[in-house]
Amino acid sequence: MSEEDVRSGLRDAVADEPPLHFDPDELVATARSQVRRRALVAAGLATVAIAVAAVAVPAMVGRDGSGTTPVADRPASSTPSPSPSTSAVPSPRPDQWPPPGVEPVTRTVDELRQRGKEMGEHLRGSLPATLPSATDFVHGEFGGEAEGEYYPEQTSINAAISFTIDGRRYSIVVTSWLPGSTGSPAETCVANCHRLPDQAAGALYDQTEDYDQGVIETVFHFRDTGAMVSVAAYNYDMTSGAMPTYHQSLPVSLDQLVAIATDPELEL
């Protein structure tokens, strides 16, 4: 089969294209409403954050510095400032992403495979402690496009882990990106996104995607090193290969997601 055969094969594959009923006005209306909704969510979250800070900061006055809450520790950095822009995502911290001075890092396939093995081993040991009510863990191998498979110039590795809580199967996906290889928080965290109080060297964002019955909550940890780790929790077992059985709630709390996302052992 020649390259010309490929060209003509692909050309002819779309020859039976069904009619396109494309209405640009409808598309613009949909896009506008999404932008408006994101702006409203951003404004709402900013209002809540300001209210929290208004209560937390006065409460700190007179304290001796011990026993402060994470929010009170860093009231300024944990409070998204209200933005006049239409973006739902607050300005990333650091303001420039990747952080100044961070050069994109590359790894060979062998290096990625080795790190994947190490991270897999680490998660086998750490997850039962982080998720104490979970049992019957099934750890997928780290990989790229497919489990255990890597390719040259790959910039992230990911693994899916499923487990049982109260007799129901759930799953999470852990993904680790090389320094300098991801877009900014505003480009990455795009659905119902809000910034969390800082708990480690970097910035934390939380995203919730709601697809009728399927819910995916993802915490992104943009690290000061320029690397990024995300953990996505599913209200079903996304590894089963069958039609999902959805459950009422997510299996992992926000604190647990943050604990995994900020784990220093998961840096690529």
Partner 1 sequence: MRQADEESFRRFAVAHAGKLRRSAYLLCGDWHFAEDLMQNTLIKIYRSWSRVQKDESLANYGRTVLLRTWLDEKRRPWRRSEQTAAAVPDRSDDARGPGDSPERLWAQDLVHQGLLRLPPRQRAVLVLRYFEQLSVAEAAAVMRCTEGTVKSQTARGLDALRASVSHLVGRVAS
**What residue ranges bind partner 1 (CB under 8 A)?**
1, 3, 5-18, 20, 22, 24-25, 27-28, 30-32, 34-35, 145-146, 149, 151-153, 173, 211, 214, 234, 236, 238-244
Residue with tokens 């487990």: 163
Closer CB to partner 1, 10 or 76, in the complex: 10
Q: What is the DSSP string of the chain?
A: --HHHHHHHHHHHTTTPPP----HHHHHHHHHHHHHHHHHHHHHHHHHHHHHHHHHHHHHTT--STT--HHHHSTTTTSPPP-SSS-SSPPPSSSSSSPTTPPPP---HHHHHHHHHHHHHHHHHHHHHHSTT-EEEEEPPPBSSSBT---TT--EEEEEEEEEETTEEEEEEEEEE-TT-S--HHHH--SSEEEEPP-SSEEEEEEEEEETTEEEEEEEEEETTS-EEEEEEESS-TTSSS-----SS-SS-HHHHHHHHT-GGG--
Cβ at position 184, least distance to partner 1 in Å: 12
Residue among 90 and 197 whose Cβ is closer to partner 1: 90
Q: How far is the CB of 143 from partner 1 (least distance, A)?
A: 11
Q: Which CB sits closer to partner 1, 181 or 256?
A: 181
The smaller minimum CB distance to partner 1, of residues 8 and 77, is found at: 8
- In the complex, the smallest distance separating the C-beta of residue 217 from partner 1, rounded to whole angstroms, is 14
User: Closer to partner 1 at the Cβ: 38 or 221?
Assistant: 38
Give the rounded distance of the alpha carbon of 105 from its chain centre: 20
Beta bridge partners of 194: 206
Residue partners of 227: CB distance under 8 A and separation at least 6: 176, 177, 178, 179, 267, 268
Smallest separation, CB 187 to partner 1 (Å): 9
Nearer to partner 1, 68 or 244 (CB): 244
Which residue, among 73, 119, 112, has the nearest Cα to 265 in the 3D structure? 119
Residue 30 or 133 with smaller CB distance to partner 1: 30
CB nearer partner 1, residue 79 or residue 218: 218
Rg (CA), the chain: 22
